[in-house]
Structures are given as structure tokens and as C-alpha cells.
A and B are shown apart, each in its own frame.
Chain A
Amino acid sequence: MERTLLPFAVVTGCLLVGAPAAAQLVLGQYEDEAPLASWNQLGSPPAPSLGLGGAQLARVWDLTQSLVNPALLTSLPRLSASVSASYGGASLDKYALVNTGVVESIGLPSVGLFGVDGGGVAGRAGPWAFAVVVAMPESYGRPAIAVGSGGYQLTFSQTGLLRVFHAAVARKLPGGLSFGIGLNAVAGRLDRSTVEQSVSPGATVTITDDKSEHFHGLYVNAGLTWRATARLTAGLAVRSPYLKKGPATSLLRYEVPQTGTDIRIAAEAENAYRQPWVYGIGLSYRFSAAWSLAFDADHFGWSRYTATFFDEPRERSFRSVVRAGGGIEYLAPTRFAAGTARIPFRLGFIVDPQPVTTVRTTYLGLSFGTGLELRALAAGISASFGRENGSGQNLRTARIILTLRYHFRE
């Protein structure tokens, strides 16, 4: 057994028993169904990718990039495994009851989450490559609310997440080309609850508003890579639109036990959120064995986004956007535990405009990354820091990702 496999297995196990929450970069804004992150979710970038501004279409570090561009699988070793976990913090402006008229926050609310982002295994046989990945790219959680004094109490909670189960196949083609295609099943939920209670000498009034949604959906992603020269690689990826839909239930309830008042309005429906086309292009250029660049631009077709909530179309004024990110990498050779190793240093930038048109905002971010590549084991850690402009709130974000990758012997 390769000596580095044991630490990989131990750390992976520790991460997998961690809290099942996603930590993400920036705040998804202004709608309940927004991910607690940028609206522009595409895969689950591993640490090296985040260090280079999220670039992951043309340069392969990790098998979880198959969520975005499965063609990259053909560049991986015969058998590999990977897991990523992250911690993210973000400040928020408006959500649910907060700063929309019901309760006002003193300063901006903030949220911090730790969780496993995703992991999987990949294999290669001749020109063919395969991967199975489970990831959690979206979280719908919001900071809970508890306000009130005396006989009055108002509480609010919102939790939710979306998981992706991904299987992909890729093949090397002549001319330095590779092609890959993935099938993705999504499943998730979003639960909201508001409880308001007033206690007076004669009566206790309790108002409850519970809404619960379950999601499922199926989409295809595909990618192409072209090794144009020994230094330059281009990548192209596309994600099909799909319907994130599922059963939803609602219960509004007004109770006054002392008078026997118990008014309920219950509803069931099939909610649906039409996710847009996404396509992107990436470039990777290697100057030397030590220095390289990577850059991605992804187009999200949000202008065609639709939401149907309890049988009614919801007005969503969205625009399509292009998110861009890139960075530079330097690999420093070193010795570690009586062996050769490499320490990467990465610096990147992120420009992430949001689709909501009523409050036009763009997140601008810088990212940094390092790690250790030791024989079959590679560990990467990256951090990004972003600031939003456009809303006047100067929302801030931070994210730290740890990725462990293990390449089994050829």
C-alpha cells in the first residue's frame, strides 16, 4: 500500500463525517430559491481551481471537474479518488423577513458554513475514462431569526441543499482532442418556517407558516478539450437546461387554544425552476514546467429562467451573465519526507455578475492557493475573498477549500 494512501483515507473519512452543509463563495441574492452563493453555480471547484479564480475547463487537477468538463477525465491517471471540503462565510443584505420590512438587522447578517463539497472516483482504460462524483453545489440555508420580547416571539428558519449525482464517460480522440459527456441527477429540498406567537392573559395566538419543497431533475453536461500545442490547451463545456422540480407543501395555521380557533390553509403543488443553458470556454497555457496560466469564461442564460411556485408563475427579472475567472500558477520543487515534492502557489481573480436586474451587482474577488503534491497524494488549499458592488451594501465573502486527491499507481 502506498504510504500516502493512509493519510488520504483518514482525512477523507474525517471530512465525510463533517456537517453536511455547503460553504460557498458569495450570497445568492434576493429570492428564496437562490443558492447561498452566487447564482452562477457550475460544478464544485476543487482547491487548485479556486486558487486560479475558479478556472477548471481546460486544466485538470481533480476528477470533480468532470461536473463541468468530463473531457478532462482522459488526462487523469488510471485510477484516482478525490474529496473536497470547504468553509465559507458571507454577509447578506435581504432575505425572507430580514431587511424586507418585517425585521431589520443591526449591521449586515452573516453566515458561515462548513461542509463537504463533493468527492468521487475516476478510472481510465485505454482511450476511455470514467468517473462517478457526488457533490453538493447549492445550499439554500439562511441565518435563522429569533426576535421578540415579553409575550411576543417571532422565529424564522430556512434550510435546504441540492445534491448532484454525476456519472461521466470520456474518450481520447485523434488530434489532441478529448470528448466527455456526463449524466447528472439532482435531488434536494428547501424548507422554510415562520412562527409568530403572542401571549396575553386571555389567549395565546400562534401563527405558523410552513413551506417545504423537494427537488429533483436530470441534465446532461458535455465537454471538449483540445491540446493545441504542448503548452496550450483549450476547453469547451456545456450544461443542458433542466427543470428542477418536485412536490411542495404549504401550511398556514392560526391557533388560539383558549377559544378553540384553529384555522388552516393547506396546499400541495408541483414547484418548478427552469435552470438555464450554461456554456463556457477555458484556456490553459504553460510557459514552463513551473509557470502556467488558466482562464475560464462561462455564460449563464438566466434571461430564460422561470420559476413556478404553487401553480403560479413567479416574476423573475433576470439577465444572462458571463462569469470570468483566471489566474497564474507557480510550482516550486522541494523535498518532503525524504522524497521529491512540489509546492504550488496560485493567484487568481473572479468577476461574477449576478443575474438579478432589480439590484444589479457584481462580485469581484481575489483568490490564493497552495498545497503539497507528494507522489500519489496531493493536497490543495485555497482561499478567495470577494466584495460585491452595485447594491451599495458592500457584501463580503470568503471561502477556504481543502481538496485531497489520490492517484493510485499506474
Chain B
Amino acid sequence: MRPLRLLALAAVVWALAVQAAPVPAGRTGQVVSVSERDFAAARLGRLGLDALMEKDGRVYLVVSADECAELARRGVPFADETQRLALAAVERVGAGGGVNGAFHSPYEMETDLRLLEEAHPDLARLSEIGRSLEGRPLYALKISDNATVDEHEPAVLFAGCHHAREWISVEVPFLFGKYLLERYASDATVRALVDASEIWIVPIANPDGLQYTIDVYRYWRKNRRANVDGTYGVDINRNYGYAWGFDDQGSSPHPGSDVYRGTAAFSEPETAAVRDLVQAHDIRAMISFHSFGQDILYAWGFTSEPAPSDAELGAIGRTMAGLIEAVNGTVYVPGQASRALYVTNGDLIDWAYSLAGAPSYTIELPPVDIDHGGFFNDETAIAAVFEENRPAMLYLVRYAIDHPLLRRPLSPVRRERSVLSQTRKPKLVLRQP
């Protein structure tokens, strides 16, 4: 497994290089490793050194020339890892890429999640929470101290890629998990959050659809259910069990529609897997990432009536919007989903909120509109989008730790009758090759 470990280290260095990780000004970015014993004996933790990770009995540090000199002055033996890891990072970059560039395919995500788990065995546990229609594993990464033990701590869920074409929604939750694991040793804030909670990362809720966007059609949205009428796909963010099929405006009964809700609530294995994960843990907050629009949306989506804790949901949303804007000025607009965007029923946040009042949000990531990329994001924007969302995500984890839930499921709602709408497929015209 040594190559995997090397890859993990390389990924760390590479991430530092390309994602402009916040290395303090004045540091050279040189990576050195010291043994854990020497690290503890010399009390290096008190120096505020920028620790990347712990691996194979060694602690990897990003240090400046002055800090290097300090290590030498204290007589701490250290090894310069910069060149070795950079070389491995280059190899990693060469092995990645593909049609989807720096974005993850399901296969690449599986590889990277396993690398994270292997690099942080005490903090990360990768679970297969189900299988997609086409048999791809659905993964959840649990991040907590003693990750292999169920400590019944407050849990927070960050999910991505309910909609296949929203590639950026895969990256933000994944990078958040990566950030937590790699900063745990060196960042007291991160450590406190991870120690007091379970953070669940489901970066790809719709792997079949994502693969289809890579192989065949970039703008595919739904999963790959073969419907009875010959069309394909259920919108899995219209397939959750609260207010499912409430009306035909917030979802569609027609299989050909892009917002087809399926034949029944949780009819899709992808939504059933997320349901089971949520119900098995004390989920106190969650974010479902989507794109595009730069919105922070909260319940209700199925009705324009306010949710019972509308004020609290709004306050949290506004706080998160403020934290995001403070990073580099990008404006995300908070609001009740049905009012701020459009009516949806059977989506994840309404259902998750209905269980016990957990603050649940859909964050529509950049760009702001179709003229600036729509469901496309430049590869170089991945890191920036994550960085601007990171403070809000950390805030929500802290909020979940500090605030209990309503602990009372909300009443189910009855389906409304309304005029059906149908999305027609384009008529096909063929030419001979």
C-alpha cells in the first residue's frame, strides 16, 4: 500500500500548490518531516508550525527557512520531503485529468476517498451506504475523532451531486472533508469541531448520472432509471419523502421531465441510501450542494408558507451568506427555497428538516447565472469556490454541536391537485454519417 500512501502525501502537497492553501505569509512552503517522538519531545506543537498530516510515525510540516533553523537549533532531526512529494504530486496530476479535468468522476472519487481514509485511519471511515441503479457504490465518509466508533455525537451531513451535471457540487463537500482531515493536527478550531461531532460527507449522491455526463451528455441531470415509457431518469432531488408529489409544479409525474419525481417516495436506491444514513444518525444540520445561482435556500421548498422555525433558518442562512461574502466578496443570497428560487417538492432539505427540524440548506454554488458558465465551472475556480464556502460549513458544524433539535417530526402533508405539465423530448432527425 506504500504507493497509495505516497499518493496521499503527494495529493496534500499538490493541493497546497494548486488550491492556494493558506500558508502563512513569509513561509517558503518547504515540507519537512520529523518523527512523532521528536515532535512531542521537542514540544514542536507549541511553535504553531503548520502541520500537514501524520503518517507512518512522522509528522509532516510546512516550514519557513526560519522555522527550519529553529528545528536545527533544537536538535530535532528532520527530513526535507519537498522534492519527493512534489515529484509524486506531478505523477498524480498526470494520472488524473481525463474528460472531466480536475473534477472527480465516480472512479476518481472512490480512489481519493480511500486515500483519505488510509491517510487518516483514526479520523476517517469510508462506508458504502448503498449502490446506485447501475451498481456503483454510494460512499459516505465519516470524519470524527475515533471515527470507527459510534459515539452518538451530533452529526452534520454535507452532500453533493444530486444532479449529475453540477460537477462543482462534488468538489466542495469532498474538499471540506479533506480540509478537516489535513488540518486536524494543526488547527485547534478544526480539532474541536471534529472531536465534538460526526461529519458525514456524501460527495456523489448520483454516480450513474455523473458518469453519463462525462461519457455521453454533459448536461444530464437525473439518475439513470430506465422508465417504463422508454425515457430515462428520476430527479433524485424530487424523490425524498416529505411532500413528495405535493403538486406537479414542484416536481413532475412525467418520466420524460427533468424534474420527474419517480414512482414513489424513495423509489430510487440513491435516495434510499441517503435516507438510511440520515435516519441512522443524529443529523443536526446539513447542506446539499447544487449549482448554479449563488443562493442559500432553506425549507420550505414545497410551499410558500414559512417553516415553523423560519426565523432561525433565515438567521443561520444570513450568517452563512455573510461568512461567504467575507472571503472574497462573492454574494450568495439566502432565502426560503420556494420564494427565493422556485417551488420544489420531494427534495432533500424539506425531508431532512421535517424529521426533527435540523437546519437544512441547499447551497447553489457559482456561477451566478448561465451567461457565466451555468453548470460549468472553470477547473481553476474549484479551490476558490470551496474556500469561500468553508467558513460557512465550519460555522454550521459548530451550530449543530451547540444546538439541539426540535426532536419532533413534522406532520406529513397532503398532496395537492393541480394541472399537469409535461416536458416533451425533442423530435429526432437523423442524417447518415
A interface residue numbers (CB < 8 A to B): 21, 32, 96-106, 109-113, 141-149, 154, 157-159, 194, 196, 202-203, 205, 207, 209, 211, 250, 252, 254, 256, 258-259, 261, 263, 265-269, 309-313
* Distance A253 CA – B296 CA, assembled complex (angstroms): 28
Question: Does the CB pair B98–A269 fall under 8 Å?
Answer: yes
Q: How far is the CB of A301 from chain B (nearest CB, A)?
A: 23
Q: Are B371 and A145 touching (Cβ within 8 A)?
A: no
Cβ contact within 8 Å between A145 and B372: no
Shortest Cβ distance from B221 into A: residue: A101
Q: Are B431 and A254 in contact (CB under 8 A)?
A: no
Extra 14 A-B pairs, beta carbons < 8 Å, given A21-B433, A113-B433, A256-B373: A101-B212, A105-B428, A144-B431, A145-B429, A147-B428, A158-B433, A194-B217, A205-B370, A250-B98, A259-B371, A263-B373, A263-B377, A265-B103, A311-B95
A147 in contact with B426 given A101-B220, A102-B217, A310-B98 (CB within 8 Å): yes
B233 at the interface (CB under 8 A from A): yes
Q: Which of B90-131 contact A (CB under 8 A)?
A: 95-101, 103, 105, 107-108
B432 near A: Cβ within 8 Å?
yes
Report Cα–Cα, A278/B65, bound state, in Å: 63
Contact with A along B346-386 (1 / 0, CB 8 A): 00000000000000000000000011111011110000000
Q: Can you name 6 A-B pairs with beta carbons within 8 Å? A: A99-B230, A101-B222, A110-B430, A142-B433, A143-B432, A261-B371
Q: What residues of chain A lie closer than 8 Å to B108, measured between beta carbons?
A: 312
Cα–Cα, bound, A144→B99 (Å)? 22
Majority secondary structure, A binding face: strand
Q: Provide the bound-state CA to CA distance between A113 and B427, in Å.
A: 24
B219 is an interface residue with CB less than 8 A from chain A: yes
**Pair B95/A144 contact, Cβ less than 8 Å:** no
| A103 / chain B contacts, CB cutoff of 8 Å | 425-426, 428
Residue B232 interfacial (CB < 8 Å): yes
Given that A101-B220, A109-B430, A265-B379 are contacting pairs, would A312 and B372 also be in contact in the complex, using a CB cutoff of 8 Å?
Answer: no
In this assembly, does B216 line the interface, its C-beta being within 8 Å of a C-beta of chain A? yes
Contacts of B376 in A (CB 8 A): 207, 252, 254, 263
Closest chain B CB from A150 CB (angstroms): 11
On whether the beta carbons of B233 and A101 are closer than 8 Å, the reply is yes
Please report the C-alpha to C-alpha distance between residue A146 and residue B219 in the assembled complex, in whole angstroms.
17
Which listed residue (A142, A148, A250, A258) contacts B371, Cβ 8 A?
Answer: A258
What is the chain B residue whose CB lies nearest that of A147?
B426
Contact check, B231 vs A104: say whether CB atoms are below 8 A apart. Answer: yes
The reply to whether B220 and A102 form a contact with Cβ atoms under 8 Å apart is: yes
- Asked whether, in the complex, the Cβ of B429 is within 8 Å of the Cβ of A256, the reply is no
A202 vs B428: C-alpha distance in the bound complex, in angstroms? 28
Interface centre among B105, B377, B430 (most CB of A within 10 A): B430
Task: Kindly supply a per-residue 1/0 record for chain B positions 69-98, scoring 1 wherever the CB is within 8 Å of any chain A CB and 0 otherwise.
Answer: 000000000000000000000000001111
Cβ contacts under 8 Å, A203 to chain B: 370-371
